[in-house]
Amino acid sequence: MRNLFAIPVLICGALFAAAPVRFELRDTNGSPHTAEEWRTKKAVVLFFTMTDCPLANGYVPEVNRIRAAYDPQGVAFYAVQVDNTVSDADVKKYAQDFGYTFPMLNDPRLTLARLTGAKVTPEVAVLSPSGEVLYLGRIDNKVEDLTHPRYAATEPELRKALDAVLAGKAPKEARARAVGCSINLESQ
């Protein structure tokens, strides 16, 4: 029965992708953000996270490093908090405690997760300035499954995707299976 619902969702997703991306989400400082600010960027990275996801929390330093390397090249970075049970104040404290160096958007309606197809945290989406999903998946292959993490990543998928986009090419791998904490897409 669940598969019957997948077809309308895919059709709606395709229609939504063709339409201009429209949303307004506030960051932890209360500043509004919309897709309009993407227009001047070469690419946009959305890092999907939840305050209580240990895998996502463990990736914050790496995503901060990636942001530091790619922000000067015209790539915008946003963390997207997708747990609608956490208060704005708790999300703000979390972003400060974990040292995010880029805006954290609180997305209780899961607008951006639905737009990109993100299903777990940590998962990243690389978007074009118009909101087209160019890459969706893991940051790297350090954690390919929950029982056998690597000491260090050997495939930096997010960096490779960004390098391709900045070179004017499509990422070689448009998808890389991410593992982590499930985003509850049925909650909204």
The per-residue pLDDT for range 156-180, each reduced to its tens digit, is 899 999 999 999 999 999 999 999 9
- Answer whether residue 187 shows pLDDT above 90: no
Domain 22-187 = CATH 3.40.30.10? yes
- Answer whether residue 1 shows pLDDT above 60: no
* pLDDT confidence tier of residue 188, bands split at 50, 70 and 90: low
Domain positions in the chain are 22-187
Give the pairing of strands 32-34 and 24-26: antiparallel
The per-residue pLDDT for range 4-61, each reduced to its tens digit, is 333 333 334 443 444 568 899 999 999 999 999 999 999 999 999 999 999 999 999 9
